[in-house]
Amino acid sequence: MNYQPSIWAIIIFFSFVAFVLLISRYFAKRSQSTKGFYTAGGSIPWVVNGIAFAGDYLSAASFLGICGMIAFYGFDGFLYSIGYLAGWMVALFVVAEPLKRMGKYTFADALDSKFKSKGIKIAAGISTLIVSVFYLIPQMVGAGSLVTPLLGWPHWLGVILVGAVVIIIVATAGMASTTYVQFLKGALLIIFSFILVFLVLNKGLITDEYDTLEVDSAAADGISLVDTNYTVENEWTVGDHLFAAVRSADGDRTVWAYNADKGILEETLSITNKSDGSVLYNGAPEEEGKFHQVGNLTDIRGVPNTETGAVGPFEFLGIIKESTVVRWDKAIVMDDGDKITVYYQRPTSGKEVLQPGLKFPLDTTKNKLNFISLMLALFFGTAALPHILIRYYTVKNPAAARKSTIVAIVGIGFFYILTLFLGFGSMVGGALDLTNSNMSAPLLANNFSVAIFAIISAIAFATVLGTVSGLLVASSGAVVHDLVGSGKKKMSEKMEVGIGKIAAIGVGGIAIVLGILFKNLNVSYLVGWAFAVAASANLPAIIMVLFWKKTSAKGVIASIIVGLVSAMIIILLSQSTYNDVYHLVDVTAPMPIDNPAIISVPLSFLTLIVVSLMTKKKEDEAKALKNGASAKA
């Protein structure tokens, strides 16, 4: 889609970014020491840390990804909200306090507190880096998606902008600055999302219709139209659907879908990739803006051309349930060497939209396993995300860690309830860009006013900035404390912070490149992968170290490696990666499922148990021997 930037949007956006950089500069003086840089000296009040948790967690995946997925697939997008929040129960009940008690800078400290094993530190450090990179990709994709409509810049420039700003934030100020950026942004995101939901409900629901052309006859020799100003030039059949290229009297050539029941051609949206490399949007260059936003109801409780006025939240959902929503499907046709992607209307009953099954159909055993696996990853992934876990070290004690988790749960839970209305509001309120499912919530704001759009986009951009900052601090901590720090040579604090900053710049650079490469994927879908890798590699080790006395160091190392490798192999060899990342459309992938958690999490637990049982005795004997030798010495 072609987006026109507004001066208001640009002013508000850059003011926000400048403010974030000022905060960063202000807190730079607190980050001279290692403790200051990585944990803000353990001095953050628990309320601030709780909202910052929400800021960390309500990343691009939540605001852009979930809202977009609900807008495109209805209830199935809300499954992410449910799963993401449920994951906090694991964090609160199982992980928060013990982890704070046992750790210092990174979750590897907690894992290693009993064993003093370099192997654990290295394995946990590598796992942190890989999970962080998986989580960074969707944040960068989201940043690029936001900058395009806001500033009119290309996607790649948005990714580079966010990368550069975040590297400045992290390299100058570390965790204190990251925390206050997250606090500010988490609070603003929740407040403005609430305002947006209020506007959606206040406006109520309105029906809308797209253009049609009346068909005179649809015989075997082709379609002819009643209006002689239009001529059918070409026809294609894809499955049950018949599409026609129609030339109008003023020369425009557009694609239409034949509706046999009504005897009409229905408007579609199309993107033509011409053989000479040029691209047309609805038959015209992108800057003519003919590829417009969509998303509407065709009737409200069976009545066309009507509107409801202001509605309550449950009434809003109830009306959608009893109305007809226009969703859009995609087909690809070839037209004399040109590839045309046609987005055609698919009226769907509201009842169907409010039920599971549109994104994750549960018709086969494989699909059921995929669904269970996704829900498992979301549940167990949260308490294993490195940038979430390091936040437990920024407060003073375990009770503060618990309380800040509860503040986070309240804020995040409230926000996730709002996603339901933001998503469905976009779906029926003309806020869908069919080429980018991540843009629904900002476009919904744009439907009300450019100022709200600019504020929401600036907050969403800060969302990305904050989350990426947190991830870079976590990655940097893993490099300094777990990888480099596990060596024999003791480093000075200045050196530690210096290496950490270089690591942050390096990981940030990798994230920029990957963010540009993964441009077209839904960010929540990508985050699902990060959760699966974290749940597989980190959580079994964390839980077993905390609650199983027979856990051995080798068991922990083996569990992390097996969880990490198995999860990554399944993701990289899954059908969705083959189709969406490698673009191998007609190739069957070797892995039967897309989400690895249902295999990799149990495998990681099992590995830890088996290896621990095999090695615990030996490790205990070696430890006793060492202790005896030290006592004698």
Q: Does 375 bind another protein (CB under 8 A)?
A: yes
CB 145 within 8 A of CB 64: yes
Structure tokens given for 58 = 């309500």
Residue 349 to residue 347: CA distance in whole angstroms: 7
Q: Does 281 bind another protein (CB under 8 A)?
A: no
Q: Which stretch binds another protein (CB under 8 A): 108-116, 396-404, 435-443, 607-615?
A: 396-404
Residue 469 to residue 464: CA distance in whole angstroms: 8
Structure tokens given for 510 = 């990798």
Considering the complex, what minimum distance in angstroms separates the CB of residue 183 from another protein? Answer: 9
Considering the complex, what minimum distance in angstroms separates the CB of residue 461 from another protein? Answer: 24
Binding mask 316-335 for another protein (x = CB under 8 A): -xx--x--------------
- Taking CB under 8 A as the criterion, the residue among 191, 260, 410, 610 binding another protein is 410
Structure tokens given for 536 = 């597989």
Q: Does 173 bind another protein (CB under 8 A)?
A: no
Q: Does 189 bind another protein (CB under 8 A)?
A: no
DSSP-derived secondary structure for 466-485: HHHHHHHHHHHHIIIIIIIT
Q: Which of 561, 556, 558, 563 is nearest to 541 (CA)?
A: 556
Q: Does 205 bind another protein (CB under 8 A)?
A: no
Considering the complex, what minimum distance in angstroms separates the CB of residue 549 from another protein? Answer: 13
CB 53 within 8 A of CB 388: yes
- Taking CB under 8 A as the criterion, the residue among 372, 491, 495, 517 binding another protein is 372
Q: Does 36 bind another protein (CB under 8 A)?
A: no
Q: Which of 83, 21, 86, 88 is nearest to 50 (CA)?
A: 88
Environment class of residue 520 by beta-carbon count within 10 Å: exposed (0-12), middle (13-18) or buried (19+)? middle
Q: Which stretch binds another protein (CB under 8 A): 118-126, 278-286, 354-362, 596-604?
A: 354-362
Q: Does 396 bind another protein (CB under 8 A)?
A: yes
Q: Which amino acid is at 410?
A: V
Residues that contact another protein, how many (by CB under 8 A): 55
Number of helices followed by number of strands (H, E) in the chain = 23, 11
Q: Which of 140, 181, 133 is nearest to 157 (CA)?
A: 140
Q: Does 114 bind another protein (CB under 8 A)?
A: no
Q: Does 201 bind another protein (CB under 8 A)?
A: no
CB 67 within 8 A of CB 419: yes
Q: Does 613 bind another protein (CB under 8 A)?
A: no
- Taking CB under 8 A as the criterion, the residue among 226, 249, 399, 587 binding another protein is 399
Contacts of 425 by beta carbon, 8 Å cutoff, 6+ apart: 196, 197, 200, 431, 444
Residue 309 zone, left/alpha/beta (φ > 0; ψ -120 to 50; rest): left
Query: Which lies closer to another protein via its Cβ, residue 110 or residue 129?
Result: 110
CB 314 within 8 A of CB 345: no
- Taking CB under 8 A as the criterion, the residue among 38, 344, 416, 605 binding another protein is 416
Instruction: Give the SS3 label for residue 267.
Output: strand
Strand-pairing partners, residue 335, are 338
CB 343 within 8 A of CB 328: yes
- Taking CB under 8 A as the criterion, the residue among 54, 61, 79, 146 binding another protein is 79
Q: Does 481 bind another protein (CB under 8 A)?
A: no
Structure tokens given for 388 = 């979430």
Orientation angle between helical segments 523-537 and 365-381, nearest 10 degrees? 70
Report the DSSP pairing between strands 279-281 and 324-335.
unpaired
Considering the complex, what minimum distance in angstroms separates the CB of residue 473 from another protein? Answer: 18
Contacts of 390 by beta carbon, 8 Å cutoff, 6+ apart: 38, 39, 105, 106, 107, 175, 470, 473, 474, 477
Considering the complex, what minimum distance in angstroms separates the CB of residue 305 from another protein? Answer: 23
Considering the complex, what minimum distance in angstroms separates the CB of residue 46 from another protein? Answer: 10
Considering the complex, what minimum distance in angstroms separates the CB of residue 99 from another protein? Answer: 12
Residue 583 zone, left/alpha/beta (φ > 0; ψ -120 to 50; rest): left
Residue 556 to residue 300: CA distance in whole angstroms: 57
The one-character DSSP state at 342 is: E
Orientation angle between helical segments 155-203 and 7-27, nearest 10 degrees? 110
Q: Which stretch binds another protein (CB under 8 A): 154-162, 272-280, 411-419, 427-435?
A: 411-419
Query: Which lies closer to another protein via its Cβ, residue 24 or residue 457?
Result: 24
- Taking CB under 8 A as the criterion, the residue among 402, 481, 501, 554 binding another protein is 402
Residue 562 to residue 571: CA distance in whole angstroms: 14
Considering the complex, what minimum distance in angstroms separates the CB of residue 39 from another protein? Answer: 8
Q: Which stretch binds another protein (CB under 8 A): 125-133, 323-331, 366-374, 504-512?
A: 366-374
Query: Which lies closer to another protein via its Cβ, residue 46 or residue 343?
Result: 46
Considering the complex, what minimum distance in angstroms separates the CB of residue 412 from another protein? Answer: 9
Considering the complex, what minimum distance in angstroms separates the CB of residue 130 from another protein? Answer: 27
CB 499 within 8 A of CB 530: no
Considering the complex, what minimum distance in angstroms separates the CB of residue 476 from another protein? Answer: 20
- Taking CB under 8 A as the criterion, the residue among 36, 68, 98, 528 binding another protein is 98
- Biggest CA pair distance of the chain: 103
- Taking CB under 8 A as the criterion, the residue among 31, 62, 81, 524 binding another protein is 81
Considering the complex, what minimum distance in angstroms separates the CB of residue 142 from another protein? Answer: 23
Considering the complex, what minimum distance in angstroms separates the CB of residue 28 from another protein? Answer: 16
Q: Under rule CB under 8 A, which residues in 40-69 are in contact with another protein? A: 41-45, 48
Q: Which stretch binds another protein (CB under 8 A): 72-80, 184-192, 207-215, 333-341?
A: 72-80
Query: Which lies closer to another protein via its Cβ, residue 154 or residue 313?
Result: 313
Q: Under rule CB under 8 A, which residues in 435-474 are in contact with another protein? A: none
Structure tokens given for 205 = 């629901």
Considering the complex, what minimum distance in angstroms separates the CB of residue 429 from another protein? Answer: 18
Q: Which residues bind another protein (CB under 8 A)?
A: 41-45, 48, 75, 78-79, 81-82, 85-86, 88-90, 92-94, 97-98, 101, 180, 314-315, 317-318, 321, 351, 354-357, 362, 368, 371-372, 375, 379, 395-399, 402-403, 405-406, 409-410, 413, 416-417, 420, 547
